[in-house]
Amino acid sequence: MATSPSHSSPESAIIEQVITEFFAKSLHIILESRSPYVSSRNYSVDQFMSSPSSSCSSSSSMPRDKWFNLALRDCPAALENFDIWRKSNLDPLVIDIVLIRRPLVPDVARPLGGCLLRNFSGNRDLALEPKSWKIVERWIVQYERHKSSSSKNHKEIRKCGTKNNGGSSCSSETAFYKKTYERYIILFRSLYVLIRLLPMYKLFRELNSSGQICPLSLSHRISSSIQPFTQEDEAKMNQFTFVPIDTPRGRLSLSVQYLRTLEDIRSEPSAPLSLQFILDYVGSPTTDPFRRLKSLPSARSSPALVSFTRQHSWSNDHGALASVSHCPSVACSEARGIRCNPSLCLPPLTHHNDHSPPVISESQNAAVTHKNNMSFDEFWPSPFSPTSSPSSPAHLPGQRSPNALQSVFSFPIEIIILSYVINNISVLYRSGSSQIDIAKACPNTASQTQAYSSEGKQQIKMDTLRCGNYRTGLTLVKGFPSGKDDTEKLAELPSSSTQRPRSRSSSGLSLLDKFDDCGFPCPFADYKDVTESCNRRSPDAVIGAVVRMLTTAAPLRQGLSDLCRPSQVFMDESLNPCVQHDQDNTEQSECRASTSEILASVLLKSKTAAEGLEELRRYKEMKESILKRGASRSSDVDSGPKVCRQ
């Protein structure tokens, strides 16, 4: 406990304690909403991600919660050593909130053994490049002792006494203390609200929710000396000063200087990717990958609408269309989707690959950070860092769509996996590719996902939360004319995110069963809306596979290329980059993959010869046996009702 040496009476001790608690509470409130949750005590993603304060230890209030009648989330690590660190209440408490642009390659020379509460008064202590960090907020908590024996306060005390109890010295002091304490309470209420209205809070939340896909991170340094800002920096800052509160022997003050706007920082190309992107990938009413909203003029001309133009992770022109980031994805995207503040728009991302750090190195960075989970790295707030970066996407068997995979390289792994799977389904749909591809892909992606997540549970919770946010967005999206059917379907879906997809194709073939059997652990795979959008196409995909099998027989292949040409009317080439990339491969295979009607016509045309009939009969038998196997497996695996059949 920090004490002041000059006072020893019980009364002074109480005052000193209140002052100490004032410092501690201020620090707690500030760090709670600026420093990622790195407490060494009860760490839980739930605690952090739901309402920051509401969910913490509701059953048992921490002793410190009772101070100033404000129950806060479990304290950040910094606070745990606060009492030890503070030498005197007369020293100001300076809390600098620092925005750090993390190096792409981990700095192994960085000192790791520092203390979170060390006095980072010099820039060198941060061991960062001078331009890689910026102070975005500076909070100063200060206790100034009155030089003279504060006659003002004595008057105040007397006033309190006269008002309340007729002026006895003891009761007047008590009343004064009560009144002063009440003022502290109100000040902390204001601080709590204000801190959430400052621009940095938004960024804090986004950085936490987006994991470590961007090189920005928030940190803080605590010191007892004030390093003056440069004039240039000062000009960019606003100041808010709380009215100081008088104590019997001094006054407590609290002020903040904060960057007026974070535009210049956030408009960096590597700014965090928000849920706005995720909306475009999965579950949006417009996410049917076989439809394109051509009626919309252009993404650039209408930033507000870009989230409704479809951007697919497997789209080759992803980079070009990545103008989705026009929409203030960082500023106002959190699960809203519609309401965007044009004034906060980010400049367009030219291409994710151009600007985003290599994810592998980011992952390594995270791994290093995590490995050295010592005090200095706690200084770098990254509770979810290692989970969201794919450690080795290059190992994914993406022979068919390497570029598509590349184009989503900088996105969270769940999106990558999802897009990869959808890619495969899409490719399969078109080219009738081998079932083995997906079957191979699934275990790989599964193991990779598991490998990333040393904190797999947390990752899932994180993703669930994202889904929750994104669902909120959906309700807003509903009003839009496009994708009505999808919206309705989505609306019908139960909200449980833990159920496996129930719907099966009517044929019940084993393709998607293989998909399921591989134990696909991708969090997004739990989301029914996504899986259903996959499953909706499964009959065709399955039939495509059968067609491919059938067409391997020489007698039946004749004339196919002519016949399949009309099937192209069902396709929109521009939708799938695989067509562009694997033009040679898919041109022919595209024709093969089509609806069951085309299959029937193909078969009918080929049944002219007796040999053909005989061969067809054999193939039919094979098909039936596959169907039976698929159906039996389906009934084993999936006990739920069949929701969606197409």
Partner 1 sequence: MNCETCQLKELVVEPPEIREVLRSILHTILFHRALGLVRPKDVECELFDIIYVQCEDHELEKKIDEKINQFIGWVEKHPNRKSQVCISFYEVKNKHATWFGNKIERFYWEQWYINLHIVSPKPHGKSHNTKAHVVTGENAFEESNSRCAALGSSLREVLLQIINFVNEKKDHIPPLQNSEIVSFPYEISTPSSSDSSFGWHADVLKRMLQTGHPSMLS
Footprint of partner 1 (CB under 8 A): 51-54, 58, 61, 65-66, 69-72, 164, 175, 178-179, 182-183, 185-187, 189-190, 192-194, 196-197, 201-202, 205, 242-243, 295-297, 301-302, 304-305, 331-332, 334-336, 339-344, 472, 476
Residue 275 CB, nearest approach to partner 1 (Å): 12
* Distance in angstroms (rounded) separating the CA atoms of residues 20 and 22: 5
- 93-101 and 216-223: which strand pairing? antiparallel
Q: What is the DSSP code (8-state) at residue 314?
A: T
Nearer to partner 1, 161 or 501 (CB): 161
335 by DSSP, 3-state: which?
coil
Does an H or E element contain 321, and which? helix 318-321
Give the residue from 417, 372, 368, 369 showing the smallest Cα distance to 392.
417
Rounded CA-CA distance 207/364 in Å is 19
- Of the two residues 185 and 446, which places its CB atom closer to partner 1 in the complex? 185
Residue 196 or 623 with smaller CB distance to partner 1: 196
423: closest CA among 411, 444, 408?
Answer: 408
Torsion sign (Cα): 289, 292, 297, 298 = positive
Residue 167: CB minimum distance to partner 1, A: 16
Cβ at position 133, least distance to partner 1 in Å: 25
- DSSP code, position 119: B
Could you tell me whether strands 250-259 and 93-101 are parallel, antiparallel, or unpaired per DSSP bridges?
Answer: unpaired
Between 255 and 375, name the residue whose CB sits nearer to partner 1: 255
Cβ atoms of residues 70 and 189 within 8 Å: yes
Query: Which residue, 343 or 646, has its beta carbon nearer to partner 1?
Result: 343
- The distance from CA 135 to its chain's CA centroid, rounded to whole angstroms, is 24
How far apart are CB 462 and partner 1 at their closest, in Å? 17
Any residues with CB less than 8 A from the CB of 282 and at least 6 apart, and which?
Answer: 415, 418, 470, 524, 527, 529, 530, 533
Name beta bridge partners: 253.
142
C-alpha span between 40 and 38 (Å, rounded): 6
Q: Which helix (H) or strand (E) holds 581?
A: helix 577-581
Q: Tell me how far, at minimum, the Cβ of 162 lies from partner 1, in Å.
A: 14
**Nearer Cβ to partner 1, position 190 or 403?**
190
* Closest CB to partner 1 among residues 104, 293: 293
Q: Are 427 and 433 in contact (CB under 8 A)?
A: yes
- Cβ(352)–Cβ(319) under 8 Å? yes
Question: Min. distance of Cβ 188 from partner 1 in angstroms?
Answer: 10
Min. distance of Cβ 33 from partner 1 in angstroms?
9
Q: How far is the CB of 231 from partner 1 (least distance, A)?
A: 26
Are residues 53 and 72 in contact, defined by beta-carbon separation less than 8 angstroms?
yes
Helical ranges in 495-537 per DSSP H: 511-517, 528-535
Provide, rounded to whole angstroms, the least separation between the CB of residue 25 and partner 1: 13
Q: Which is nearer to partner 1, 339 or 628 (CB)?
A: 339
- Please identify, using beta-carbon distances, which residue of 253 and 444 lies nearer to partner 1: 253
Which residue, among 545, 557, 540, has the nearest Cα to 597 in the 3D structure?
540
Longest dimension (CA), the chain: 117
Taking the least distance from each CB to partner 1, the nearer of 187 and 418 is 187
